[in-house]
Structure 1
Amino acid sequence: MTDNVVKTICADQWRYWLRTKVATTVLLFGAILTLAALVVNAFHIHETAHAREHLQQEAEQRFLSQPDKHPHRMVHYGHYVFRTPTALSVIEPGVDTYTGNAIFLEGHRQNSAMFAEQRQSVGLTRFSSLTPSFLALVLAPLFIILIGYGSVSREREAGTLTLLLSQGATRQQLVFGKLIALTLASAALLLPLIIASMYVAFFSESAAVVALFCVGYVLYFLFWAALVTASSAIFSRSNVSFTVLIVMWMATCVLLPRLGSSVATNAVPSLGKLESDFKVEEKLRSLGDGHDVNDPAFKKLRSDLLAKYNVSSVDELPVNFRGIVAQYSEGRQAKVLNEFAENRMQEELDQAQIARQFGWLSPTVALRAFSTLLAGTSIETHHRFLREAEALRLEFVQGLNKIHAEKLDFKLDMNRNKSEEAADKAVVNASNWAILSSFQFEPESPGARIHSATVYGFQLLLWLGLSFALLQLAVRRLHP
C-alpha cells in the first residue's frame, strides 16, 4: 500500500511536468546539451590523440633521418614528446584544458608544456570548452532546481496538500514520492554521461575507476534532488524556495570554487614566469658556460681529468674534453632546473590541495576533485608528465654529449669554426642518432587514483547525508 501511494505521487508529479511542458523542455535541453558536449569532445579528443601519435612518430623519424652533424647541433635540434589524454578525459578533462600536452626537449633548458586544448580549439571545437563535467557540475543542478523547486510547495499553494494528507498519504510518502520523481528527472540529465562512462570502460580504462566515477556523479545529482525537494517542502511558497535554491546554487557552484582558488593562490603565493626565469638564469650563470671549455668553472674538472689519465694537456686525453664539459655542465644545470621545477610544482600542488579543502563547503568542489583524480586529469598527473619528460630530456641530451665526448676528435672539434671545411669534418655518423628512448605516458594505476580520490568521495557522502538530514527535517515541518 505504501509503495502504491509513493508511485501515485511520483506519477502525478510527472503528469504535471508533462502537462506544463516546462520540465520536459528543461530535461530535453539539458540532455541534448550534455550529449552534444560528449560527442564533440569525444571527436575532438579522438582527433587530437591521433594527431599526437602521428606527430610523435614524425618527430622521431625527423630526428633519426638527420644527416651527419656535430653532436651539439643535435642537442639543440631537440625532440618532441606528446601526452595522450586518458579515456575519461572525454567527460572530465580537468587541468588538460589549460595545461599543454607536448614538450620540446633540448639541452640547457626545460621547456613548458604547450598546445593546450583551449589554444587549439577552432570553429565547432570551441564547443569542447563546454565540457560534460562542467554541464554536470554547474548547469545540471540549475536544471534540477528549475524542475523541482515547486514540487511540494505547489501542492500547498493549490490546496491539494490537505486533500492528500486527509486521504491517508503520510508526509513521508508525499516527500519521498516527490524525491523519486525528481531523482528520475535528474537521471535523464545524467544518463548520457553514464552511458559515455560505461562505453569508456570497454576501452583502456579500469572498470572499478569508471564505476566509482559514475557513483560520484550519481551521489552529486541525488544530493541536489534531495536538497531541492527539502527546500520545496520547508518553504510554503514556491518563489521563496526558488530564491533560496538559486542562492545556494550560486554559492556552491560558482562562488565557493572561485573563492577556493583565490584563497589557495594567496595562501601559497608563487613567482611570476618572468621573475622565475630571471632567478633561474642567474643561478645557471653561476655554474659556468658549458660551451666554453676555458671557463674558470671547469678548472677543477680539467685538473681531475688530467690527473686521472696521467696526461699534461686536454689534447692528450682519450676523450673529447668539450664533450666532457658538456656532460658535466648539463648535469649541473639539470639539477638547478629540477630544483626550481620541483619548487614550482610543489607550490601548484599545495594550492590545489588548499582549493580542494573547499569540498567540505561545496559539493561541487568535492566532485571536481573526485572526478579529476579518478580520470587521471589532475595536477598530479600533469606534474608526473613533466617529470617523466625531464628524465627523458636529460637521458637524450646526455646521450648526445656522450657521443660528443667519445666519438668526436678534440682537435677537429676545437678547429671546427675556423673554416667551412673544418666544420664539415667535425661531425659524427648519423647512425649515432639512434639513441631515442620511446616515450609512452600512462596515467597512474587504478588503485593509486582510487586511493587519491577517497577523501573527496567521503566529502560527497557527507553532503548527501546532510541533504537527507535536511529532508527529514522538512518532513517533520511539513504542514498544510
Structure 2
Amino acid sequence: MSNIVLAIARDEWRYWRRSSLAQTVLVIALTLAIASVWVTHSSISQSAEQRQHMQSAAEHTFTDQPDRHPHRMVHYGHYLFRSPPPLGTLDPGVDAFTGNAIFLEGHRHNSATFADQKQSSGLTWLSKLTPAFVMQILTPLLLIVLGFGVMTREREAGTLDFLKVQGVSPSVLLAGKGVALAGAGILVLVPLVVGAVMTLLNGAALLMVVSFIASYLLYLAIWCGVVLLVSTLATSNSTSFSGLIAVWILLCLVLPRVASNTASVMVASPGKLETDFAVLQQMRQIGDGHNASDPAFKALERSLLAEYNVDSVEDLPVNFRGVVAQYSEAEQTKVLNEFAAQQMRQQTSQADIARQFGWLSPMIAIQNASMKLAGTDLENYHRFLREAEKVRFDFVQSLNTLQAEAMTTAQDTNRYRSAEANRAATVSADNWQILNNFHFTPLSPQQRFSGSLLAFVQLCFVLAMVLGFTLLAGRRI
C-alpha cells in the first residue's frame, strides 16, 4: 500500500513539474521564505548589535556626567534596551509593536519606545515579510493555489473512476494526494527550519527550536488537510478554489480580527488619558517630593525628629529633603506599580480570550505557539517592563540616598543662593557608578514550552478534525 501511496504522490509531483502555474507558485513560496529568513535575521541581528552599543553608550553617558546635585541625575534619566531572543529573528512577535527601549526617570513609568511598526506608515505592513508572517499567512495561500485541484482534477478528467476500477481505495488515494501536498509544504518550510537550527549557535535552547519547528509542521499539515478536504468535497476546480479562498480569508483574516475585537469588548481597558488622571489623583495624595514643606510629609518629619531626638529638620544627621525624596519615590512607585499591574492583568486577560479562538482558527493557534516559543509574546514583554522598573527604582533610590546622606538640609535648601552654595550641594561624579549592565532574558525554555501547550493542543485538535472530515468525505468518492 505504501508503494501505491508514493506512486500517487509522485504522479502529482510530476503534474506540478509540468505545470507552469505550480512551478511559479513554488518558486514564489521558496523565494519569499528564503528572503524573509535572511532579511529578518540580518535586520534583527544588526538591530541587536545597535541596541547593545546604545545600551553601553547610555551607561557611559550617565556615568560621565560632571559633579551635580543627585536629584538632577534623577531627572537626567537612563535608557534600557532589550535585545531580541535568538528565535525572535524568525518571529519578532509583539516586539515590533511594543518597542525595544525604555527611558527610566524618577516619579514615573514610561512605555517602551522605538517600535518598528510605530515608526512606519500603515501602508508598509506588507513590507515586514518576516518568516512567521510568510509561513502563517502566505504559505497556506500558496498551498491553496498549488493544490486546489488535487481531487477535482481527477474527477473532471474522468480518471477517478479508472483509479477505482484499478482497485485504488479512497483512503489510499487521499493519502497519496496528502503526501504530495505535504512534500510541497515541507519544501517551503526548509528555509525556516534552517533558520531555526542556526539560532542554536546564538544560544537558543534545543527544546525551543524543536518545538518551534514541530508547531509549524502541525500548522502546514492542517492546511494540507484543508486543501485536500475542500478539493474532495468540491465538484469542480473553480468551486474548490473559491471555497478554499473563502476558508483562508475566514481562518487567517476574519477570525483573528474577531478574536481581537471580542477580547477588547469582554475585558474593557481604560484609555491612557483616563489612567493618567487616576494616577495623578493618587499622586497628589502622596505629596510633592520636591517640596519638603508639603503637609503630606508632616508625619514623616515628626517621626524623624522623635527618632533622632532633635527639635528641627536642620539638626537632623541626614538631609530631610533627601529623606522626603526617598519616601515620596517609594510611595509613588507603589501607586505606579499598582496601575501597571492592573493594566498587565487586563492585557493578559484580553490575550487569553483571544487565544481561545485557536480552537477555531489554526492561524491564531500557531501565532500563539510561535511567539511563546520564540520568547516574543506578551508575557515576555511584561517581564521586560517589570525588570526595567526594578532597575529604575533602584537607581533613583540610590541617587535619593546620596541626597539624604551626602549633604545637610541647610546645604540642600540654600543651594541656589550663590555659586559657592551650589557647589556645596553637589556630589562627586564618582557616585554615578550605580548602574549595572542590563541584559534582558526571556522566560526559561521550560516556562515557554509550558505556555505553548494550549496552542499545541489546539493545533492537534484542528488537525484531527480536518483529517476526520477528510476521511468521511473520501467515502463519497
Is TM > 0.5 for Structure 1 vs Structure 2? Answer: yes
On the 8 A contact 1:37/1:128 being kept in 2, the answer is no
How far apart, CA to CA, are the structure 2 residues paired with 1:252 and 1:231? 14
The aligned counterpart of 2:35 is: 36
1:437 aligns to what SS in structure 2?
coil
The aligned counterpart of 1:81 is: 80
Deviation of residue 236 (structure 1)? 2.2
Map residues 422-441 of structure 1 onto 2, 5 A cutoff: 422-441=421-440
Deviation of residue 118 (structure 1)? 2.1
The aligned counterpart of 2:146 is: 147
1:110 aligns to what SS in structure 2?
coil
TM-score under structure 1 normalisation?
0.97
Aligned length: 475
Percentage of pairs with the same residue: 48
Please list the CA deviations of residues 183-236 of structure 1 after superposition, one character each: whole Å capped at 9, or x if unmatched: 101112111111111111232111111101100000010111112112212222
What amino acid sits opposite 1:300 in the alignment?
A: A
The aligned counterpart of 2:413 is: 414
What amino acid sits opposite 2:116 in the alignment?
A: E
2:269 aligns to what SS in structure 1?
coil
On the 8 A contact 1:91/1:133 being kept in 2, the answer is yes
How far apart, CA to CA, are the structure 2 residues paired with 1:271 and 1:126? 27
Tell me whether 411-420 or 77-86 shows the greater mean CA deviation: 411-420
Tell me whether 15-24 or 337-346 shows the greater mean CA deviation: 15-24
The aligned counterpart of 2:213 is: 214
How far apart, CA to CA, are the structure 2 residues paired with 1:302 and 1:31? 71
How far apart, CA to CA, are the structure 2 residues paired with 1:465 and 1:350? 28
How far apart, CA to CA, are the structure 1 residues paired with 2:253 and 2:127? 20
How far apart, CA to CA, are the structure 1 residues paired with 2:241 and 2:53? 52
Deviation of residue 119 (structure 1)? 3.8
- Corresponding position: 1:373 with 2:388: no
The aligned counterpart of 1:314 is: 313
Please list the CA deviations of residues 305-326 of structure 1 after superposition, one character each: whole Å capped at 9, or x if unmatched: 0000000011110000000000
Deviation of residue 343 (structure 1)? 0.7
Structure 1: stretches of 5+ with no match in the other structure: none
Tell me whether 155-164 or 325-334 shows the greater mean CA deviation: 155-164
How far apart, CA to CA, are the structure 2 residues paired with 1:120 and 1:194? 30
How far apart, CA to CA, are the structure 1 residues paired with 2:114 and 2:258? 28
Map residues 214-293 of structure 1 onto 2, 5 A cutoff: 214-293=213-292
The aligned counterpart of 2:346 is: 347
CA 5–168 in structure 1, closer or farther in 2 if over 3 Å, else same: same
CA 126–348 in structure 1, closer or farther in 2 if over 3 Å, else same: closer
Deviation of residue 25 (structure 1)? 0.7
The aligned counterpart of 2:174 is: 175
1:202 aligns to what SS in structure 2?
helix
On the 8 A contact 2:62/2:432 being kept in 1, the answer is yes
Deviation of residue 477 (structure 1)? 1.2
On the 8 A contact 2:317/2:408 being kept in 1, the answer is no
The aligned counterpart of 1:95 is: 94
Please list the CA deviations of residues 21-55 of structure 1 after superposition, one character each: whole Å capped at 9, or x if unmatched: 11111111011012111111111101110111001
The aligned counterpart of 1:394 is: 393
What amino acid sits opposite 2:388 in the alignment?
A: A
The aligned counterpart of 1:325 is: 324
What amino acid sits opposite 1:351 in the alignment?
A: Q
What amino acid sits opposite 2:49 in the alignment?
A: H
- Corresponding position: 1:358 with 2:357: yes
1:103 aligns to what SS in structure 2?
strand
The aligned counterpart of 2:158 is: 159
The aligned counterpart of 1:13 is: 12
Tell me whether 85-94 or 165-174 shows the greater mean CA deviation: 165-174
2:286 aligns to what SS in structure 1?
coil
On the 8 A contact 1:75/1:400 being kept in 2, the answer is yes
Tell me whether 190-199 or 379-388 shows the greater mean CA deviation: 190-199
The aligned counterpart of 2:460 is: 461
1:440 aligns to what SS in structure 2?
coil
How far apart, CA to CA, are the structure 1 residues paired with 2:76 and 2:197? 43
On the 8 A contact 2:308/2:316 being kept in 1, the answer is yes
- Corresponding position: 1:383 with 2:382: yes
How far apart, CA to CA, are the structure 2 residues paired with 1:127 and 1:356? 24
On the 8 A contact 1:95/1:377 being kept in 2, the answer is yes
The aligned counterpart of 1:69 is: 68
How far apart, CA to CA, are the structure 2 residues paired with 1:32 and 1:409? 69
How far apart, CA to CA, are the structure 1 residues paired with 2:172 and 2:125? 46
What amino acid sits opposite 2:280 in the alignment?
A: E
What amino acid sits opposite 2:89 in the alignment?
A: V
- Corresponding position: 1:24 with 2:43: no
How far apart, CA to CA, are the structure 1 residues paired with 2:456 and 2:324? 52
Deviation of residue 128 (structure 1)? 5.9
Structure 2: stretches of 5+ with no match in the other structure: none
Deviation of residue 126 (structure 1)? 7.6
How far apart, CA to CA, are the structure 2 residues paired with 1:135 and 1:291? 53
The aligned counterpart of 2:299 is: 300
Tell me whether 49-58 or 232-241 shows the greater mean CA deviation: 232-241
The aligned counterpart of 2:199 is: 200
How far apart, CA to CA, are the structure 1 residues paired with 2:127 and 2:81? 20
How far apart, CA to CA, are the structure 1 residues paired with 2:88 and 2:411? 52
Tell me whether 411-420 or 342-351 shows the greater mean CA deviation: 411-420
Deviation of residue 120 (structure 1)? 4.9
CA 441–128 in structure 1, closer or farther in 2 if over 3 Å, else same: farther
TM-score under structure 2 normalisation?
0.97
On the 8 A contact 1:144/1:186 being kept in 2, the answer is yes
Deviation of residue 121 (structure 1)? 6.2
On the 8 A contact 2:144/2:241 being kept in 1, the answer is yes
How far apart, CA to CA, are the structure 1 residues paired with 2:249 and 2:91? 21
How far apart, CA to CA, are the structure 2 residues paired with 1:291 and 1:8? 81
2:435 aligns to what SS in structure 1?
coil
1:312 aligns to what SS in structure 2?
coil
How far apart, CA to CA, are the structure 2 residues paired with 1:128 and 1:429? 50
Tell me whether 418-427 or 282-291 shows the greater mean CA deviation: 418-427
Deviation of residue 419 (structure 1)? 2.6
2:202 aligns to what SS in structure 1?
coil
